[in-house]
Structure 1
Amino acid sequence: MDIVKNEKDEHRSFEATIDTDNISLRHADDLLLAQLGYKSEFKREFSAWIQLIETVAFSFSIMGVIASVSSTLIFGLDSGGHVGIVFGWLIPCIFVLTVALSMAELTSAMPTSAGLYYFAAKLAPSEYGPLASWITGWANIAGQTTLVCSIDFTCAQMITTAVAVASDGAVVLSAGATFGILWGILFSHAIVCSAATNVLARLNVFYVLVNVGSTLAAIIALLVVSGDAKVSTKDAFTLFENNTGWASNGWAFILSFTAPMWTLTGYDSAAHISEEVAGAATAAPIAILVGVVATASLGWIVLIAVSFVIPSVSDLLSSELPLPMGQVFLNVLGKRGMLAIWSLIIVVQYVTGAAQGVDASRVVFAFSRDDALPGSRWWKRINPYTQTPVNAVWLVMVVAALCGTVGFSETALNSLAGAAVIGLYTSYAFPIFLSIIGGKDKITPGPFTLGRFSKPIGWIAVSWVSFITIMLLFPPGLKTTAQEMNYAVVMMGGVFIFASAWWMLSAKKWFHGPVTNVDSPRKDQGETTPDHEHSSRSD
């Protein structure tokens, strides 16, 4: 009995130690957030026990591997065939890693849901801080919102592909029907993303299992079931076909970079949920890097498997299915096999859209908290029941639905993907640029730092983003019409004109960058006292 009693006492002591550690960790996070100028408004329910797993899961969920590869296979097929599929993925991933490394370093130093536009404000010269914050914030919100739309749009295309296969081609849904499905998905995501943080945290671990499991299942199924029908290793890696209409094969190949650039977006989500994570200064940068490396690696393996089972690129491009990847699975696995694995891919894509919806809503909340959006007083409200920014969630979904109107064009995915990448990567690169030209000296490094490699890696990252932004503004083909043009330039141009005009006419007079909503930390207690009033300038 004494032994049992001692064991119980030791167990209680151990649990008490864990609880104390969790409380201390959350308190340290809140103090760091207060030093950055914000009071803690979210519950930190991405728990201390499994904080790293849950945060990595969230970052990884936004870049759903098999679903993203299935959505964007068309880019590689058009722009290089087998070479475009394999190396059009690999090359950009190497450069994206430099962006992720720089992003992880900044996030470790400044873990706040404001994320990138907060980084820009603190890294810029003081007189240009507000403008730097304004540019970065608007670029990020534009990218975040169009990314929600593009993910859910491809989810709708996946559903229409499944319907076509299930009906043996008898039912081919129109663009209008696809748009209706998109709206239904966005509505459901609005409900899911309004849930409490602890619900989302637990779901994301499940999301990763489905994501990785579906990816591995697709790789094994394609390679095993195809048997001897595979192309040669030489053809799988070196056969080049230009189906873009551009005369230059080099330029055609570069256009295949759109696929991995669109897939490897949203990993800044680890920064945007940092106020809901315990130990954010360590967990968030690790989540960024693990998410990018895992997605890039698994995606490349999937595409190598796909390249081996495509005997004819031209035949695949002539498929009537909305997404060519559906035809790949149909050719190799047959109708039942295709529908089985395609159902899992739809689930992955749906979950990816939900994770991105959470990310985008946190950005809207943070930017509104600093009074930088029209109607900020509505979007910065935290629901008292769920402790999440429900109003911001619904705003994101409504705007994403409006962006979905480009779905009536033939190059809808190209336009949405281009707009998302341009907006997001511009917001990634701007703070990195400010950091490497001297801004880094103004901040205290976090647990994750690149040390002497920070500037070289940062310059590579900024140069890559500059190049890819220009590339994504080009149309997919040499000749364009109103239906075939790349609407990314229209979408991002509209945001730029609106944000610039508002800045010149009004915002520069009252927007001073991130708004502090806590008093200075008390030196005697090391605690903070929140302000009871938070001025609102743009309502």
Structure 2
Amino acid sequence: MSDSEKSSKHADVTIVNDSGLVERRSPNGSLLSVRHADDALLAQLGYRSEFRREFSTIETIAFAFSIMGVIASVSSVYSFPLVSGGHVGMVFGWLIPCLFVMSVAACMAELASSMPTSAGLYYFSAKLAPPEYSALASWITGWANITGQVTLVCSIDFTCAQMITSAINVGSDGNVVLGNGPTYGILLALLFSHGLLCSSATGVLARLNLFYVVVTIGTTIAAIISLLVASGDQRVSTKTAFTDFENNTGWSSDGWAFLLAFAAPMWTLTGYDSAAHISEETAGAARAAPIAILVSVFATSSLGWLLFIAASFATASVDDILGTDLPLPMGQLFLSVLGKHGMLAIWSFIIVVQYVTGAAQVVDASRVVFAFARDNALPGSRWWKQMNRYTQTPVNAVWLVVVMAGICGLLGFSATALNSLAGSAVIGLYVSYVTPIFLRITSGRTKLVPGPFSLGRWYMPLGIIAVAWVCFITILLLFPPVSNPTADTMNYAVVIVMAVVIFASISWVVSARKWFVGPVHTVDEALSEKSQ
């Protein structure tokens, strides 16, 4: 018998059984240890498993879909295409960006399948960047993503507060008009309730998302049908619904005005990276995460387009809708089409959808904070990476997100600042989305170990399209929504984004470059090797 045969005979044997568990057995067949296959893969990526894997594939899809809350998001951004193109802005200002976002989603799905960890995007950047720039790429991506995550929580919940004030306004026949102060108070109440809800165990959060998706899809379909049926004689012709263009931006170029309508789908189609961020809580994450990303983006894009088509048919007068006193013009559309009681009925469900969208986003943001803190990248990381012993979830990270979103909410006392905050959320998130995609098609072409989902040779053309699209849309979102802006109509997204860029840059130069090394290992190398 050769030395290699003797060594093999006396070596431990690692197998994957039918249940997806990794069994390590001694040469005589006795069971030494059992680990979930997902945990073994996570160990290869460098992390010890700390979550309970209680999200199924269906629940992961539901989570990624719910976080985009299609009916509530469309209700929030309905005014964007109204101003920037009218009927054409609603129909085609939604469709065109959705086609490009699918390329971003496809590239992200490939990365999530290869490296299913809560660290997500900044981990991808670290592994695909040249070794000498690995930590810097991780630092930039992480801060961009956290900026987008926290500001998106604030944007969603502030819009939910505006929906509530709109319902109060309509319900009181305009006699009760709540200003910025009460709206901010409602925001804080929403954030507090989300903090309590999102501190729950993983199993509870997973089951809740099945409820979320039923409410979201049901309300969206009800809104589409009600707008088409109840508009009756007020419904515009098919030609008007698809071809009538109105430029209310003040920009002389109709083409440029139309491009500004792209902000609506870009704000809605954010947060689908959540499937990657909960991958450490998902069974079969390498398959479930990419499926969730692709299905959720496609479903949201499709339902959102149908909803905007219905809204275009039901919008008899763009000027009348834009002239509403309600905080959100979509509320006026439902009021005009369905009347007071019909509007309040559908609006109540839309508020519920927006509420659960905010809850899902808090979970997503908290996982990013936890992961970044686990890699010691945040001030006070030792607090934010702690897991609650009862729920086995990062409760401290949840409440940090809630507090930071509440502080950002102070910008809501200015409508201009609030809109700029929403733009900053989109920019921050998409910069973090596209950074690892850019590295994938440049320095990381040979570094990626494909997971169950792979783009194959299509990774390069799709990656180029994704990078080009995000560069274009980032510049677009920095422009003011109207020509000749004043202090009240200026887009301050550039100020918010640059503030974070300057903070992250100074932190890197002064301190972080000396101690931040990118993703750290929380498992022993020996353990990682045994799991392979």
TM over 0.5: yes
Query: Which stretch of the first structure deviates more once superposed, 222-231 or 266-275?
Result: 222-231
- Kindly provide the CA deviation profile for residues 240-259 of structure 1, in whole angstroms up to 9, marking residues without a partner as x: 11111211111111111111
Corresponding residue of 1:220:
225
Give the 3 Å change call, closer, same or farther, for CA 307–124 of structure 1 in structure 2.
same
String of CA shifts for 1:336-379, please: whole Å, max 9, x gaps: 11000100000000000000000000000000000001111110
Give the CA deviation at 1:45: 1.3
Residues 192-231 of structure 1: pairs in structure 2 closer than 5 A: 192-231=197-236
Query: Which of 473, 482, 491 pairs up with 2:487?
Result: 482
Matched, 1:36 2:45: yes
Per-residue deviation at 1:119? 0.2
Cα pair distance change 1:73/1:319, threshold 3 Å: same
The aligned runs of 1:272-421 (5 Å cut-off) are 272-421=277-426
Q: CA deviation at 1:438?
A: 3.4
CA 1:490–1:324: 2 relative to 1, 3 Å: same
Q: State which of 432, 441, 444 in structure 1 corresponds to 2:446.
A: 441
Match of 2:27 in 1: none
1:471 is matched with 476
1:21 paired with 2:30, answer: no
Deviation at 1:226, TM superposition (A): 1.4
Contact persistence 2:62–2:212 (CA under 8 A): yes
User: Could you tell me whether the CA contact under 8 Å between 2:236 and 2:314 is conserved in 1?
Assistant: yes
Unaligned runs of 5+ residues in structure 1 are 1-18, 528-539
* Residue identity in the other structure for 1:207: Y
- 1:10 match: none
Indicate which of 151, 156, 161 corresponds to 1:151: 156
- Cα separation, 2, equivalents of 1:232 and 1:98: 33
Asked if the contact 1:34/1:521 (under 8 Å) is kept, the reply is no
Is the CA contact 1:26–1:279 (under 8 Å) kept in the aligned structure 2? no
Cα contact 2:44–2:528 (8 A) shared by 1: no
> Is contact 1:406-1:487 (8 Å) kept?
no
Task: Work out the number of aligned pairs and report it.
Answer: 505
Q: Normalization by structure 1: what TM-score?
A: 0.92
How far 1:483 sits from its partner (Å)?
2.7
In 2, the alpha carbon distance for the partners of 1:22 and 1:210 equals 33
The range that moved more, 505-514 or 437-446, is: 437-446
Taking the TM superposition and a 5 Å limit, the aligned residue runs for 1:228-247 are 228-247=233-252
**Separation in 1 of the partners of 2:507 and 2:377?**
10
With the length of structure 2 as denominator, give the TM-score of the two structures. 0.93
Task: For residue 60 of structure 1, give the secondary structure of its aligned residue in structure 2.
Answer: helix
* Segment of structure 1 superposing worse, 243-252 or 285-294: 243-252
Query: Does structure 1 residue 176 correspond to structure 2 residue 181?
Result: yes
Alignment counterpart, residue 118 of structure 2, candidates 108, 113, 116: 113
What is the aligned partner in structure 2 of residue 99 from structure 1?
Answer: 104
Q: Does 1:513 align with 2:522?
A: no
Q: CA 1:345 to 1:508, structure 2 compared with 1: closer, same or farther past 3 Å?
A: same
Larger deviation, residues 496-505 vs 22-31: 22-31
Of 192-201 and 433-442, the range deviating more from structure 2: 433-442
Please name the residue that 1:16 is paired with. none
Contact 1:139 1:426 in 2 (8 A): yes
| 1:453 aligned residue | 458
**Structure 1 CA distance for aligned equivalents of residues 271 and 232 of structure 2:** 37
Aligned to 1:126: 131
Provide the C-alpha distance between the structure 2 equivalents of 1:230 and 1:366, rounded to a whole number of angstroms. 50
| Alpha-carbon distance change, 447 to 248 in structure 1, aligned in 2, over 3 angstroms | same
Does the CA-based 8 Å contact 1:264-1:295 persist in structure 2?
yes
- 401-410 vs 490-499, which deviates more? 401-410
User: What is the one-letter code of the residue matched to 2:496?
Assistant: M
Q: Is the 8 A contact 1:258 1:417 kept in 2?
A: no
CA apart distance, 1:261: 0.2
d(CA) in 1 for partners of 2:515, 2:325: 53
Aligned residue type for 2:247: N
Q: CA deviation at 1:410?
A: 2.7
Q: Percent identity over the alignment?
A: 71
In the alignment, the residues of structure 2 paired with residue 376 and residue 117 of structure 1 have an alpha-carbon distance, to the nearest angstrom, of 16
Tell me which residue corresponds to 2:507: 502
In the TM superposition, what is the alpha-carbon distance from 1:408 to its structure 2 partner?
1.7
Partner SS state of residue 19, structure 2 = helix
Partner of 2:54: 45
Q: Distance in 1 between matches of 2:245 and 2:463?
A: 33
Q: Does 1:73 align with 2:78?
A: yes
Aligned CA distance change for structure 1 residues 452 and 336 (closer, same or farther; 3 Å) = same
Amino acid aligned to 1:31? A
> Residue 448 of structure 1: SS of its match in structure 2?
coil
Residue 328 and residue 523 in structure 1: after superposition, are their counterparts in 2 closer, same or farther (change >3 A)? closer
Q: Could you tell me how far apart the structure 1 residues matched to 2:487 and 2:187 are?
A: 22
Deviates more, 1:414-423 or 1:276-285: 414-423
Instruction: Give distance in 2, aligned partners of 1:131 and 1:314.
Output: 49
Distance 1:496 1:334 in 2: 47
Closer/same/farther in 2, CA of residues 302 and 412 from structure 1, 3 Å limit:
farther
Q: CA RMSD in A?
A: 1.4
